[in-house]
């Protein structure tokens, strides 16, 4: 019996020695953690992001990808947005669990590219996939020096939000007024011709027909309009220009709840930019060409003069307005039109479900200023950049392409973010409108040399709203920007003053 135990021990010892020899030859540590069942030779790819609203959605997508991929396992990490690129650069240089892919706003791509943290993507064909439908705005956002250096992921932009219930009520009221006017004219004509018999009609001193209120009450039945007619009239009533809003305000019999026909956050450049977006050029279509700087021109002067004139029609107090208040006023039915970002849709729907909003609403294309001057909104695209320090660029690119090719509305329902391509079925006209506006938007420039331009432009808007000379303000802004870029003072040739005048209350 003892002999058998000794023989068994000897066999085990030999087996252990052989195993040790095998591991020493293979270069694998004896202390390395190994899977108990099967093998796990998947490559780890790390994704960093900063918006906690994306956590649940990204977690689901990572799980889906990990199940699908036979070679890659993705790890997800939520990190601080403070000095984000600096943190990525430090972790990459130190080789300390740095990200292979990271989500960032596109306006920082030049900085990321020059730091070696973003490079040309390896699956550029996905951006030209017609089934996905990436707009020019999405492509321009991730273009630098003619190359795609990131994948467009989700976006934010602004557009015109309107109270649909108020517009429908106004359609009915105007239709009823037209019928009443026609009937009144017909009755007057009949009275003048002596054709009305047996009616209790009096005449005022001017000879016009006057009906007794008690007899007239209830004589005209409330007008009935089909849903198709109502929809057509609402679409016809939607403003094509800002001047149309002024004309609407002149003729609108507003309910007591309405405090302002049109209100927006005049303190935030994101909601003001559309006034000059069609004519201000900062870096070309991709926002990466420092030779293309055109801030001071006749069009921007006229557009900003138009903006300034609006102050006399919509006396918005800068010290008392902000985006949250503007949106809440809209939800409460205090305004008919406002400028909002896509987050407004979820907030309104939440208020409706809680019984705190009883109005229907809609989103439409941002109106032109007038028949001569158009508008374009600004957009910011969050994109997926592949770290230039990644040891697994092919796998990182594959995962980034997987994320940006989402074909359901899951991202919106879980995070409130709108995917940056057209191939997502939202089944919501308001969300589709934001996507359409995004496609024609101006991506925020990515030039590092003009990074503080937006603060200066916001100040210029505030000064002009308060009455500063438009020409002088834009001329100074342009000179300051060019000084910052060129390092030397530039004297702009003074252009003619604005000629645009708001034709408020004048129908065509």
Q: Decide if 498 is inside a domain.
A: no
Q: Does 1 fall in a domain?
A: no
Is the pLDDT assigned to residue 506 strictly greater than 50? no
pLDDT of residue 88: 98
DSSP state of 2: H
58 with 104, same domain: the answer is: yes
Residue 361 lies in a domain: yes
Whether 501 maps to a domain, the answer reads no
Instruction: Report pLDDT for 221.
Output: 55
| pLDDT surpasses 60 at 200 | no
pLDDT at 225 (0 to 100): 80
Question: What percent of the chain is modeled with pLDDT above 90?
Answer: 77
CB 367 within 8 A of CB 95: no
Which among 396, 414, 445 is the end of a domain?
445
**Claim to verify: residue 352 and residue 474 sit in the same structural domain:** yes
pLDDT-derived band at 37 (thresholds 50, 70, 90) equals very low
114 and 146 in one domain? yes
φ, ψ at 380 (rounded to 5°): -125, 130
pLDDT value of position 96: 81
Q: Considering 391, 421, 445, which residue would you say is the last residue of a domain?
A: 445
Average pLDDT rounded to a whole number, residues 16-44: 49
In this prediction the pTM is: 0.84
**Residue 188 pLDDT greater than 50, yes or no:** yes
Give the Cα-Cα-Cα angle 397, 401, 407 (nearest 5 degrees).
165
pLDDT of residue 226: 86
Band (196; pLDDT cuts 50, 70, 90) = low
Q: Establish if 438 belongs to a structural domain.
A: yes
Residues 433 and 475 in one domain: no
Q: Residue 109: give the domain boundaries.
A: 43-156+380-445
Residues 76 and 50: beta-carbon distance below 8 Å: no
Would 101 be classed as within a structural domain? yes
Domain count, the chain: 2
pLDDT 10s digits, 392-422: 999 999 999 999 999 999 999 999 999 999 9
> Where are any strands of DSSP class E within 216-352?
260-263, 281-282, 293-294, 335-341
DSSP one-letter code for 440: T
Residues 87 and 102 in one domain: yes
**Coil vs helix vs strand at 158:** strand
| DSSP strand pairing (143-144 vs 147-148) | antiparallel
Residues 459 and 343 in one domain: yes
* pLDDT higher than 80, residue 28: no
Does residue 32 have a pLDDT over 60? no
Distance of CA 447 to the CA centre of its chain: 20
Do residues 144 and 288 touch, judged by C-beta distance below 8 A? yes
Q: Are residues 146 and 90 in the same domain?
A: yes
Same domain, 48 and 122: yes
Look at residue 505 and tell me whether its pLDDT is greater than 90: no
pLDDT at 347 over 90: yes
User: Which helix (DSSP H) or strand (DSSP E) does residue 443 occupy?
Assistant: strand 442-443
- List pLDDT tens digits, range 61-84: 999 999 999 999 999 999 999 999
Say yes or no: 412 and 434 in one domain. yes
- Do the domain assignments include residue 87? yes
User: Among 51-55, 312-316, 347-351, 387-391, where is mean pLDDT lowest?
Assistant: 312-316
pLDDT at residue 29 tops 50: no
359 plus 453 within the same structural domain = yes
* CATH number of residue 57's parent domain: 3.40.190.10
- Three-state DSSP class for residue 392: coil
For residue 317, give the nearest of 373, 266, 248 by alpha carbon. 266
Q: Rounded CA gap, 434 and 169, in Å?
A: 25
201 domain-assigned: no
Residue 22 has pLDDT above 50, yes or no: no
Mean pLDDT score of the chain = 88
- Say yes or no to pLDDT of 208 above 70: no
Confidence of residue 20 (pLDDT cuts 50, 70, 90): very low
Domain shared by 234 and 288, yes or no: yes
When pLDDT is averaged across residues 239-243 and rounded to a whole number, the result is 97
Q: How many CB atoms lie within 10 A of CB 39?
A: 7
Q: Cα-flanking dihedrals φ and ψ of residue 17, to 5°?
A: -65, -40
Do 403 and 64 contact (CB within 8 A), yes or no?
no
pLDDT tens-digit map of 289-318 = 999 999 999 999 999 999 999 999 998 998
Residues 387 and 245 in one domain: no
Please report the DSSP string for 16-28 in residue order: HHHHHHHHHHHT-
Question: How far apart are alpha carbons 166 and 446 in whole angstroms?
Answer: 41
């Amino acid at each position: 019996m003892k002999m058998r135990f000794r023989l068994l021990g000897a066999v085990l010892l030999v087996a252990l020695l052989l195993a040790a020899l095998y591991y020493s030859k293979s270069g694998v540590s004896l202390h390395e953690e190994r899977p108990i069942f099967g093998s796990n030779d998947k490559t780890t790819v790390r994704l960093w992001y900063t918006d906690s609203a994306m956590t649940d959605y990204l977690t689901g997508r990572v799980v889906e990808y990990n199940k699908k991929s036979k070679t890659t396992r993705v790890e997800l990490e939520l990190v601080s947005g403070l000095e984000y690129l600096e943190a990525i650069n430090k972790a990459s240089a130190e080789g300390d669990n740095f990200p292979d892919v990271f989500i960032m706003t596109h306006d920082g791509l030049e900085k990321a590219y020059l730091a070696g943290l973003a490079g040309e993507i390896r699956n550029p064909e996905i951006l030209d996939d017609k089934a996905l439908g990436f707009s020019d705005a999405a492509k321009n956002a991730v273009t630098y020096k003619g190359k795609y250096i990131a994948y467009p992921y989700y976006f934010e932009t602004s557009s015109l939000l309107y109270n649909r219930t108020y517009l429908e009520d106004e359609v009915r009221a105007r239709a009823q007024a037209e019928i009443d006017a026609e009937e009144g004219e017909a009755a007057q004509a009949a009275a003048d011709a002596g054709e009305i018999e047996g009616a209790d009609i009096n005449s005022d001193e001017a000879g016009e027909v006057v009906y007794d209120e008690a007899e007239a009450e209830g004589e005209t039945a409330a007008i009935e309009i089909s849903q198709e007619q109502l929809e057509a009239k609402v679409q016809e009533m939607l403003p094509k220009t800002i001047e149309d809003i002024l004309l609407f305000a002149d003729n609108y019999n507003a309910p007591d709840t309405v405090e302002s026909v049109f209100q927006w956050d005049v303190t935030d450049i994101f909601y003001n930019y559309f006034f000059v977006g069609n004519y201000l050029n900062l870096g070309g279509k991709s926002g990466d060409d420092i030779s293309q700087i055109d801030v001071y021109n006749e069009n921007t002067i006229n557009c900003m003069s138009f903006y300034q004139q609006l102050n006399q029609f919509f006396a918005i107090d800068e010290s008392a307005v902000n985006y949250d208040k503007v949106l809440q006023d809209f939800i409460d039915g205090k305004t008919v039109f406002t400028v909002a970002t896509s987050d407004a849709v979820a907030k309104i729907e939440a208020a409706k479900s809680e019984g705190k909003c009883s109005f229907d609403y809609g989103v439409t294309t941002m109106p032109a200023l007038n028949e001569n001057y158009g508008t374009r909104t600004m957009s910011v695209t969050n994109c997926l950049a592949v770290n230039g320090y990644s040891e697994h660029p092919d796998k990182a690119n594959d995962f980034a392409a997987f994320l940006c090719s989402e074909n359901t509305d899951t991202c919106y329902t879980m995070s409130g973010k709108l995917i940056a391509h057209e191939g997502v079925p939202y089944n919501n006209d308001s969300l589709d409108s934001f996507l359409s506006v995004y496609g024609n938007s101006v991506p925020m420039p990515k030039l590092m040399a003009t990074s503080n331009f937006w603060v200066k432009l916001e100040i210029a808007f505030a000064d002009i709203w308060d009455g500063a000379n438009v020409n002088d303000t834009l001329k100074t802004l342009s000179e300051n920007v060019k000084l910052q870029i060129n390092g030397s003072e530039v004297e702009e040739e003074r252009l003619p003053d604005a000629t645009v005048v708001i034709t408020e209350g004048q129908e065509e």
